A and B are shown apart, each in its own frame.
Chain A
Amino acid sequence: KNQVEQSPQSLIILEGKNCTLQCNYTVSPFSNLRWYKQDTGRGPVSLTIMTFSENTKSNGRYTATLDADTKQSSLHITASQLSDSASYICVVSDRGSTLGRLYFGRGTQLTVWP
């Protein structure tokens, strides 16, 4: 069964600290993996998209890694800011169709305290 599991479910860190969020997936055949940031009451916004051949991609203070062999990805946030408080969602796409079916994780709820 194709699944996307994220951990931890929630995380609280102090402003300025770093953190790492995890994503494990069983989706096959794999096409790409995306990380989205979803602020409370808003729609998700894309942070990174990685294909099979990419093992790291950065977007400002966000760095995503991908290990396609172990089917794991991580999102590292450096020097956290209060505005980083949000849900971070891992999404994996398969190669099954032109549309590419998307499998969503439940997200990690990150809270950054001053």
Chain B
Amino acid sequence: EADIYQTPRYLVIGTGKKITLECSQTMGHDKMYWYQQDPGMELHLIHYSYGVNSTEKGDLSSESTVSRIRTEHFPLTLESARPSHTSQYLCASSERISGGEGEKLFFGSGTQLSVL
């Protein structure tokens, strides 16, 4: 069981509201990620971080922003939510694959966001 937590699990808000999706991990991982997933579709990387004070945009253009002030915490913020932001948001952290190359991902349970 991965020690990575997302809150809230579900969020329904009105258009124009500012929201922050929380993500915390207790595994001491430096690398963290935010993915966006629509039903029946593949995950898309929207933000990632190599460590404290490091943030990068992912492959999918997103109006959200992230911050990494502490190793364990990687919140995602939408300044003004719109219906097009309705989706599932998955947070992940990673560690080096044992004996191999690349990173092994550990995912949180996700936040299902609905913007009305």
Contact = CB atoms under 8 A, between A and B. Distances in A.
A60 interface: no
Nearest to B90: A43
B104 A105 contact: no
A72 interface: no
Interface stretch (B11-19, B77-85, B105-113): B105-113
Interface string B1-33: 010101001000000000000000000000100
Contacts, number: 62
How many residues of A sit at the interface, in one of the four size bands?
A: 20 to 34
Interface of B, helix, strand, loop or mixed by DSSP: strand
B102 A44 contact: no
Contacts of A45: 2, 107
Given A43-B92, A102-B45, A106-B41, A95 B110 contact: no
Interface residues of B, number: 29
Contact of A41 (B48, B91, B103, B110): B110
B40 A106 contact: yes
A6 to B, nearest CB: 9
Which residue, B102, B106, B109, has most C-beta atoms of chain A within 10 A? Answer: B102
A31 to B, nearest CB: 5
Interface of B: 2, 4, 6, 9, 31, 40-45, 48, 50, 90-92, 97, 100-110, 112
Given A9-B40, A106-B41, 18 more contacts: A32-B100, A32-B102, A41-B109, A42-B110, A43-B2, A43-B90, A43-B108, A45-B2, A46-B106, A49-B102, A49-B104, A89-B43, A93-B102, A99-B31, A104-B44, A107-B40, A107-B42, A109-B40
